[in-house]
Structure 1
Amino acid sequence: MEWVDRKVLQQLAEDIGQEMMPVIIAVFIEEVGEQLSQLRPLYEQGEWDALARVAHSMKSSCGSYGAMPSYQQLMGLEAASKQENATEALNQLLLLEQSLPQVLALLADYV
């Protein structure tokens, strides 16, 4: 599985400049890593609105960096949270907990 669409990263580098890539990727890794650590506690506490908000924010970030599997999982997590569907939310969360660390490790090579 391709965790990150390299074409998206290449376009991002063209848009902002190659020299800025390590800076913005470092920010992405920090912010999304922090948000990832918030998801499980929000799920376990049944904080559906907060879970949907964090998932929405992460979804946008992942899409911008080409992390399409994580993007899809976050889209599913956001939708399940809005419906308060605990089973589907957990399913998406488990998938995300597998995919997103792969994305962050791959992007760390750019920093």
Structure 2
Amino acid sequence: MEIINQKQVDRLAAEIGKENVPVLLEIFLNELAGYESTLLSLEGQEQHAYLTEVSHALKSSAASFGADALCNYSILLDKNAKLGEQLSAPSCKKEMLDLLKKTHAIYQNLFSQ
């Protein structure tokens, strides 16, 4: 699965106007950086609770920006949390951090060109 869905990025730009994308993108990138920073600082039950919170929040924002890999992983974590399944925090944390970093880097490069 691709990290970003370029067709969704283009669709978003057409809907809101290409000139508005950088403003919203900056908000999205700051959101990703904040999630990453907080996730790095947590362990144990706090980490589990935060992963649940982040996965729920990212489902829609990642989908809006075409961040497909991040969106799909967030949907999976959110679904598991709603089913009452324990998230395997270390592996979930690692995967979420990897996707947050990759997504952030790709979007930053995409719009800084």
TM tier, smaller: 0.7 to 0.9
| 1:50–1:95 CA distance, 2 compared to 1 (3 A) | closer
Contact 1:56 1:74 in 2 (8 A): yes
User: 2:62 aligns to what?
Assistant: 62
| 2:44 is equivalent to residue 45 of structure 1 | yes
SS at match of 1:66: coil
Unaligned runs of 5+ in 1: none
2:21 is matched with 21
| Residue segments in structure 2 that go unaligned for 5+ positions in a row | none
1:1-111 aligned at under 5 Å gives the runs: 1-42=1-42, 44-47=43-46, 48-82=48-82, 83-87=84-88, 89-109=89-109, 110-111=111-112
Kept in 1, the 8 Å contact 2:51–2:93? The answer is no
1:62–1:71 CA contact under 8 A, matched in 2: yes
CA RMSD of aligned residues (A): 2.1
Runs ≥4 residues deviating over 4 A: none
After TM superposition, the score normalised by the length of structure 2 is 0.80
Percent identical among aligned pairs is 29
Residues 55 and 105 of structure 1: CA distance in aligned 2, closer, same or farther (over 3 Å) = same
How far apart are the structure 1 equivalents of 2:22 and 2:90?
A: 32
Task: Tell me if structure 2 keeps the 8 A contact 1:55–1:77.
Answer: yes
Amino acid at match of 1:45: G
Letter in 1 for 2:75: M
